[in-house]
A and B are shown apart, each in its own frame.
Chain A
Amino acid sequence: MVSTFEPKSDYKVIGTRPIRHDGLDKVTGRAVYGADIKLPGLLWAVVVRSPHAHALVKSVDTSAAEAMDGVYAVMTGADIPKHDDKVVDLGEGATNLKWAADNIMADEKVVYQGHAVAAVAATDRYLAEVAADAIKVEYEVLPNATNVRDALAPDAPVILEDLVGDDLGEEVRNTNMASHFRHEFGDVEGGFAKADHVLEREYSMQMVHQGYIEPHNATAIWDQEDRIKIWTSTQGAFPVRTQTAGILQMPESRLKVTPLEIGGGFGGKIPIYLEPICAILSKKSGGRPVKGIMERKSVFEASGPAPGGVLTVKLGATNDGKLVAAETDMKLEAGGYPGAAVGAAAMCVFSCYDIPNTRIDGWDVVVNKPKSAAYRAPGSPQAAYAMESAVDELCEQAGFDKMQFRVDNAAKEGTRRGDGVIFPRIGMEEVLEATKATDHWKSDIGEPSKPGNKRGRGIASGYWFNVGLKSSVNLALNNDGTVELVEGSTDIGGTRASISMQAAEVLGIAAEDVRPTVVDTDTVGYTDVTGGSRTTYATGYAAWKAANSMVEELTKRAALLWDIDEDGVQFEDGVFSSKADSELQISFKDLAGKLNDTGGPVNTTGSVDLEAAGGAFGTHICDLEIDPDTGKTDVVRYTVIQDVGKAIHPSYVEGQLQGGAAQGIGWALNEEYFMNDAGSMTNSSYLDYRMPTSLDLPEIETEIVEVPNPIHPFGVRGVGEVPICPPIPAVANAIEDALGVRIYETPMNAGRIIAALEENGD
């Protein structure tokens, strides 16, 4: 039974902007990130990686490395336990241990460039590098397929010989197609038959990376009692424990994972890479601590990027501007092992619209690239690029107003999502109304800064369903009325603050009087990843529950103090009082000082396992200025409008909207995995991967819309993921507006713009 809540507006803490609790450590350099941990006798791990995208590992000769002074341990893929098919749930997504183990280190076959094949542990990092260079690996190079077209071609090399594909329920062998599923509702053909305007287009996308600035890292001790301790930068300590234990075939209870500060993740720090390697090297070196840091090139080549792919969208609308049918086929790159985010893409692709007849085909395709992972609304930006570009083009073809069309067809409560879910109360209509009311929308686009340049404006919407899942929070009351809050959610962007604020609101104390600590897996109850836009929502919910328990317990203490019935005590604005006798009052803080007289310490817990979360929508307005002679494109004005349910800490909500938009803009314009014929990524550095710098972005304006989520105590909806969905199509639509050409492939970089203009005869 899902509880529902009435929205309030008279909050004391929620909606304010306190300084985040971990801020001081982070501006002074004191915060300890994964790479910062120091342990006595520490060894450094360096991983040997495949230079080939697809090859058999014929032999690995580690003898020279092993003979070096200072080298304590060497391992190869043969040291990773072998697994049968077994799927483990990681909260946001699941993983099959057989593939996950092979992804940690290849034994017989490498399936992408950068795939780990061996590792060494030595007394310092430089020595470990030299030792790693001394490991000789012999490969038999195989033909590669690095994109969905090549991988699905009849003559494609089979990447995983034992993969059994699922084609609409039929088993398929000798294939790179891991799965093909379909969602179909209404009468799609009938819908298109009724349409006066039909448009069908195909869109191609290149793989992109989350680009977090902190490289993956791990430090591990595997001691002689078979206890494993891990320190790492992760989005979820418990999922690290689950994955590492699964891969090492150890009971989870033998592992303790301590999450250190994390330098960005965006979904990419849910999977593990170095943890089992450092653990095995530790065991082999007699239980010494082993630390590994992934170099940037390997972060690109061997962590978990977001899939590229090929997407088609077909839309049908009647003359009165109503969508009557839609169809899509989305083929996304899984990477070297199954698991592209195409299921999520299917949940999102048509979600901004109310369409009676829809069919969605999704394909998960194995290719010779790193195994894809979540990246901020995984699958949804890809779907949004195709859908929102097609909507704009349909409007151009039929002469519809692009904003009015979006308003007329907006999803609302009761709309059926493309995968069958019926929407509860959502905020798409409110977001579009708020978009029309922005200064940006009402302002003229302005003159180009240079003669000859062209300006254009695009809008696009996006959706993410958000997830709930499991979280645990412990509260302990100090005798000065401050509260220790212990949580399992690693803090990537200010969630210590947003969770503490929800507890503080219940307890009637200041945000600063709640002191949050993120702890290891031995010290708090199970908590899922910081991902899926769930942390402020679900861990905040757990904090709300723990705080309510604390109020309940303190109510008993007040009753005891006054020798009255607990039903006769009320709590409001941080003060306990007797309902009957207004003289009997005690503040939360004063009562905290009287615990010794009333039964001792007050500790409470809150835990949740939330099935529903309440989806969220955003619409972006993007103004571009383009030099048509060079294709150089600059974003000159940008506004994000989003329904956040309730903004707990508005500054960090704005930050999420701005950061997501910035990533989406980078994805739209320049970011890509550029693969050569050998299957190698040729731009695996920040120099050539081209993420936006401060000089590439304007001020990013934000408009927070609050349509409270009825199933959260404070009305919170997940915030972090929606903002990466609209930018790609918003940029595509703005390019079209500026130049009259449409780009059907990302990145929509200068070369593609020039080529499109030339094709157009400009």
Chain B
Amino acid sequence: MDVPAKVHVRTTINGQPQEFLVPPYMSLLDTIREIAGLTGTKEGCLDGNCGACTVNVDGRIVDSCLVLGAEVDGKNVTTVEGLATRDGLHPLQQAFLEEAALQCGICTPGFLVAAKGLLDNEPKPDEGRIRHWLAGNLCRCTGYDKIVRAVQKAAAAT
């Protein structure tokens, strides 16, 4: 089998410059997990319907299973590992803990990155807006109630 040559990618992940060779057909999800070694971003469906693999690319949230690793050359990627700083957890992370907004936790990284994408642009969303924004992220454990409360709490705290 002829395997096409790898693509040279220079990108920034969670503020750190990164440089690697990525198979041209490899998803950004696998690039982050298998090449960059950041397994906080989760695989759920590989067709853009669950949001577990949500990451932020240049200020927009995307499903990383539907982006090629080769496409992030020159771009700025943030994953769940990039939310906390040396000063502590992001208010969303703290609120998710306090509000018991996770059960199994597999969808949590995607929800956190997605919710951060909302609060970065709209600091005070109402419940309807939060539910609309997060509709691309499936959670099967919580019924969403505590997730929505946690996002509201984080919004109020910032």
Contact = CB atoms under 8 A, between A and B. Distances in A.
Verify whether A and B have any Cβ pair under 8 Å: yes
Interface in B27-57: 30, 33, 37-47, 49-50, 52
Nearest to A696: B135
A694 B51 CA distance: 12
A695 interface: yes
Contacts of A574: none
B104 A700 contact: no
Contact of B40 (A29, A687, A692): A29
A212 B43 contact: no
Contacts of B105: 22, 26-27, 31, 261, 263
A264 B140 contact: yes
Interface residues of B, number: 59
Contact of B139 (A24, A213, A686): A213
Contacts of B108: 26-27
Given A29-B41, A33-B106, A262-B104, A686 B138 contact: yes
Interface stretch (A251-259, A453-461, A653-661): A653-661
B100 A213 contact: no
B106 A19 contact: no
A694 B142 CA distance: 10
B104 A29 contact: no
B38 A29 contact: yes
A30 interface: yes
A685 B45 contact: yes
B145 A699 contact: yes
A492 B25 contact: no
B80 A700 contact: no
Given A27-B89, A27-B112, A494 B44 contact: no
Given A29-B38, A659-B143, A695-B132, A494 B100 contact: yes
B88 to A, nearest CB: 11
Contact of A694 (B23, B38, B131): B131
A210 B112 CA distance: 23
B1 A686 contact: no
Given A214-B106, A686-B45, A691-B140, A17 B80 contact: no
Interface string A184-206: 00000000000000000000000
A28 B80 contact: yes
A338 to B, nearest CB: 27
B138 A213 contact: yes
A30 B98 contact: no
B155 interface: no
B72 to A, nearest CB: 18
Contact of B104 (A125, A214, A293): A214
A48 B125 CA distance: 46
B58 interface: no
Nearest to A691: B138
Contacts of A263: 42, 104-107
Contacts, number: 184
Contact of B143 (A215, A685, A697): A697
A652 B40 contact: no
Contact of A662 (B42, B98, B136, B144): B144
A23 B102 contact: yes
Contact of A655 (B23, B45, B141): B141
A30 B45 contact: no
A20 B100 contact: yes
Contacts of B102: 23, 26-27
Contact of B146 (A264, A492, A655): A655
B103 interface: yes
Contacts of B147: 694
A23 B94 CA distance: 10
Given A26-B108, A296-B44, A493-B104, A659 B134 contact: no
B97 A295 contact: no
A296 B139 contact: no
A651 interface: yes
A560 interface: no
A28 B26 contact: no
Contacts of A211: 138, 140
Contacts of A685: 45, 47, 49
A658 B38 contact: no
A658 B146 contact: yes
A572 interface: no
Contacts of B44: 213-215, 296, 686
Contact of B100 (A36, A296, A655, A687): A655
B7 interface: no
A691 B148 CA distance: 18
B93 interface: yes
A9 to B, nearest CB: 23
A266 interface: yes
Given A213-B106, A694-B144, A687 B47 contact: yes
A536 interface: no
Contacts of B43: 35, 215, 293
Contacts of B1: 68-69, 127, 130
Nearest to A30: B40
B98 A658 contact: no
A466 to B, nearest CB: 19
A32 interface: yes
Contact of A214 (B42, B83, B84, B100): B42
A17 B33 CA distance: 34
Contacts of A127: 1
A663 interface: yes
Interface string A639-674: 000000000010110111011111100000000000
Contacts of A31: 105
Most chain B beta-carbon neighbours within 10 Å: one of A29, A32, A266, A700: A29
A562 interface: no
Contacts of A36: 33, 39
B50 A686 contact: yes
A693 interface: yes
A213 B50 contact: yes
Interface string A226-247: 0000000000000000000000
Q: Which of B40, B134, B137 has most chain A Cβ within 10 Å?
A: B40
Contact of A27 (B93, B104, B138): B93
Given A295-B46, A649-B100, 16 more contacts: A23-B96, A30-B40, A33-B42, A33-B106, A212-B106, A263-B104, A651-B146, A652-B103, A654-B146, A655-B142, A655-B146, A659-B140, A662-B140, A687-B49, A693-B134, A700-B143
Interface of B: 1, 23, 25-26, 30, 33, 37-47, 49-50, 52, 79-81, 83-84, 89, 93, 96-100, 102-109, 112, 130-132, 134-148
**What 10 A-B pairs are tightest by C-beta distance, nearest first?**
A29-B40, A263-B106, A662-B143, A493-B103, A651-B100, A26-B105, A686-B49, A658-B143, A36-B39, A29-B80
15 contacts: A27-B93, A29-B40, A30-B40, A33-B106, A130-B1, A214-B52, A215-B44, A263-B42, A265-B104, A493-B104, A655-B141, A662-B144, A686-B45, A694-B131, A694-B139
